Amino acid sequence: MAASPRREPADDWLSPDAQCTGFLCSLAAVIVVNVTSPSREQRAADAKTAAVEQEVKNLNEVLTSVLQLRPVSFASLMIPSVPSRFEPGALAIENPAPNWVDFAPPEPKGLSRILSGSARRARELAEAQARFDTAMRTHAQAEADRQRALAGAKAAYDQ
């Protein structure tokens, strides 16, 4: 007759058909309960593991979705620089110079041409010429100021 393997008495509590009594039985029951029902820490760890696995899945999907795109080169990222045009605005428009016709006294007509003296006409012409000369100097000064401002704006644009 073949001899059956010898079992230690302490191993009896591990067999499914063993009648468990005493301290070892209580210990086995606690171990079985702790192994079969996950603790709160285990559930938290499982949830974190699932979240990490989902994040890894998402990252893998991002990486594989990029593979379908054409490769990016440094040259394709460079945008050619198109300098803006200098827009001087109102500084580009020259102010019109005074016109003598706007300052000249009216020509005498009819009888006033005969009756009015040449001295009065000469005085009216001299006053008109003085007003015209003043207007020309004012225009020249305003034009010089405009050109200086235009040159300053152009210099600021060029920097």
First to last CA, the chain: 110
Write down the pTM of the prediction: 0.46
Higher pLDDT, 18 or 83: 83
Collapse the DSSP code of 156 into the 3-class scheme (helix H, G, I; strand E, B; otherwise coil) and give the result.
Answer: helix
Cα–Cα distance, 132 to 138 (Å, whole number): 10
- Mean pLDDT for all residues in the chain: 80
Cα–Cα distance, 128 to 106 (Å, whole number): 10
The candidate with the shortest Cα–Cα distance to 33, out of 25, 23, 21, is: 25
- Specify the pLDDT at position 101: 93
- In 3-state terms the chain splits into helix, strand, coil percentages (rounded to 5) of 65, 0, 35
pLDDT at residue 14 tops 60: no
pLDDT at residue 150 tops 90: yes
The candidate with the shortest Cα–Cα distance to 125, out of 107, 144, 140, is: 107
Collapse the DSSP code of 109 into the 3-class scheme (helix H, G, I; strand E, B; otherwise coil) and give the result.
Answer: coil
